[in-house]
């Protein structure tokens, strides 16, 4: 039930959905006073959510900073790569389609090639409400093998549907072989806070490595400050979903 509710909420908490909802209400409500208020609110929210400077500042404040490779102070037995990067609605299905979070895979591969991690554990089944097709962890395993990672250096956890379940399953897999301080968690910079909370809650607190950075350097150009951008809407889609997930996890006791 929690899984279904969280997915439903993530669809509703999108800027355009909120704005369209307000516009529909303003059209349905006959009271001219409330009609005007809702219309003005919709316009203000549209300008707010499409402002690149505001969206970037919000993302910068939430994302966990990236660690330069030169500042990684130790080597780890396992790199734990959380899924959420592959596209499942694209065909033909004889290849792996990577979305905007491809840096999770790229940086995991780089950490492996540079010797910072000895083995890779890929965690993630299907985050869809209706589970169809091959599990994402299996797809990414095949992709990493094509990139030159030996099959014996890859482990798979393909049953979890969310970060909470990943934390539980990963601890079950790794606890007999190693300790948490020998594992490095690799996920998107915006997802680090919730991920760390989940793993700490189940008693498996790992060091983390931020990938898939969505924010950019602070920019005060006219274009950034005043021109509406669809990319800003995309950043808010990610942030609102992640904030809602973080709050829901805290209420549920997952973090």
Strand arrangement of the beta sheet that strand 183-188 belongs to: 154-157, 117-123, 76-82, 183-188, 207-211
Cβ-contact 94, 52 below 8 angstroms: no
The residue assigned the tokens 């300790």 is: 179
**How far is the C-alpha of 146 from the C-alpha of 249, rounded, in Å?**
36
**How far is the C-alpha of 191 from the C-alpha of 63, rounded, in Å?**
8
Query: What are the structure tokens assigned to 224, written together?
Result: 């950034």
16-35: burial string, b at 16+ Cβ within 10 Å, e else:
eebbeebbeebeeeeeeeee
For residue 219, what pLDDT is reported? 92
Which residues have a Cβ under 8 Å from the Cβ of 67 and sit 6 or more positions away? 209, 210
| Average pLDDT score over residue span 133-162 | 93
| pLDDT tens sequence across 240-250 | 999 999 999 99
| Average pLDDT score over residue span 156-177 | 96
CB count in 10 Å sphere of residue 170: 26
Q: Report which of residues 117 and 8 the model is more confident about.
A: 117
43-75: burial string, b at 16+ Cβ within 10 Å, e else:
eeebeebbbbbbbbebbbebbbeeeeeeebeee
Write down the domain spans for the chain: 2-63+224-252, 69-211
**How far is the C-alpha of 141 from the C-alpha of 199, rounded, in Å?**
22
For residue 125, what pLDDT is reported? 79
Cβ-contact 221, 187 below 8 angstroms: no
Mean pLDDT (the chain, rounded): 92
| pLDDT tens sequence across 44-103 | 999 999 999 999 999 999 999 999 999 999 999 999 999 999 887 777 888 889 988 899
Residues of the chain with pLDDT > 90, as a percent, come to 78
Question: Torsion over CA of 64, 202, 185 and 10, rounded to 10 degrees?
Answer: -60
What is this structure's pTM? 0.91
Per the DSSP assignment, residues forming a β-bridge with 154 are 120
Where does the pLDDT of residue 133 fall: very low under 50, low under 70, confident under 90, or very high at 90 and above? low
CATH superfamily of 69-211: HUPs (3.40.50.620)
């Amino acid at each position: 039930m929690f899984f279904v509710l969280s997915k439903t909420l993530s669809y509703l908490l999108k800027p355009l959905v909120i704005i369209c909802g307000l516009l529909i209400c303003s059209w349905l409500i006959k009271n001219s006073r409330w009609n005007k208020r809702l219309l003005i609110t919709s316009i203000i929210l549209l300008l707010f959510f499409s402002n690149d400077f505001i969206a970037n500042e919000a993302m910068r404040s939430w994302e966990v900073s990236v660690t330069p490779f030169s500042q990684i102070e130790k080597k780890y037995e396992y790199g734990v790569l959380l899924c959420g990067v592959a596209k499942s609605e694209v065909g033909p299905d004889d290849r792996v389609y990577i979305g905007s979070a491809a840096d999770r895979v790229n940086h995991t591969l780089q950490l492996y090639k540079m010797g910072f991690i000895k083995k890779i554990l890929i965690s993630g089944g299907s985050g869809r409400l209706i589970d169809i097709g091959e599990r994402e962890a299996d797809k990414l395993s095949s992709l990493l093998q094509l990139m030159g990672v030996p099959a014996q250096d890859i482990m798979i956890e393909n049953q979890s549907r969310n970060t909470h379940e990943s934390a539980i399953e990963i601890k079950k897999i790794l606890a007999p072989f190693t300790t948490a301080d020998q594992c490095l968690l690799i996920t998107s910079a915006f997802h680090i806070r919730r991920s760390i909370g989940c793993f700490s809650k189940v008693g498996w607190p790992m060091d983390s490595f931020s990938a898939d950075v969505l924010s950019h350097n602070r920019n005060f150009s006219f274009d950034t400050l005043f021109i509406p951008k669809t990319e800003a809407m995309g950043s808010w889609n990610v942030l609102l979903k992640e904030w809602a997930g973080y709050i829901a996890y805290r209420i549920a006791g997952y973090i």
